[in-house]
Amino acid sequence: GQSLEQPSEVTAVEGAIVQINCTYQTSGFYGLSWYQQHDGGAPTFLSYNGLDGLEETGRFSSFLSRSDSYGYLLLQELQMKDSASYFCARSGNTPLVFGKGTRLSVIA
């Protein structure tokens, strides 16, 4: 199977840190990507993990553990503009497969 599991909704306070988890099925797995989508917009690429460990890009970091078939997106110093949907996506020996997305709401 190719499916990915991520929480459907997360709410966090402005300035805080939030972690969005993603578990995936391992068959033919190459790596895990993260995409952001604001309401009314198109998904945009945030990060990719092909190896275990943490990848940092500014306020956003992404982590992968192949042994646990698990990854997460970490958003720090949350801002209101971070309110969006976040999708994990697995690349592998089949075309990219997306999770159903996590809707993040940042509140004041």
Partner 1 sequence: EAQVTQNPRYLITVTGKKLTVTCSQNMNHEYMSWYRQDPGLGLRQIYYSMNVEVTDKGDVPEGYKVSRKEKRNFPLILESPSPNQTSLYFCASSKGTGGSNEQFFGPGTRLTVL
To the nearest whole angstrom, how small is the minimum distance from the Cβ of residue 77 to partner 1? 24
Beta bridge partners of 65: 70
Of 15 and 22, nearer to partner 1 (C-beta) is 22
Of 12 and 22, nearer to partner 1 (C-beta) is 22
To the nearest whole angstrom, how small is the minimum distance from the Cβ of residue 97 to partner 1? 7
**What CA–CA distance (Å, rounded) separates 87 from 71?**
12
| Whether 44 contacts 35, CB under 8 Å | yes
Of 14 and 47, nearer to partner 1 (C-beta) is 47
To the nearest whole angstrom, how small is the minimum distance from the Cβ of residue 16 to partner 1? 25
To the nearest whole angstrom, how small is the minimum distance from the Cβ of residue 30 to partner 1? 6
User: Given the rule CB under 8 A, which residues bind partner 1?
Assistant: 8, 30-31, 33, 35, 41-45, 48, 50, 87, 91, 95-101
CA distances (Å), origin 52, targets 55, 56, 62:
9, 13, 10
Of 6 and 18, nearer to partner 1 (C-beta) is 6
**What CA–CA distance (Å, rounded) separates 50 from 96?**
14
**What CA–CA distance (Å, rounded) separates 49 from 36?**
15
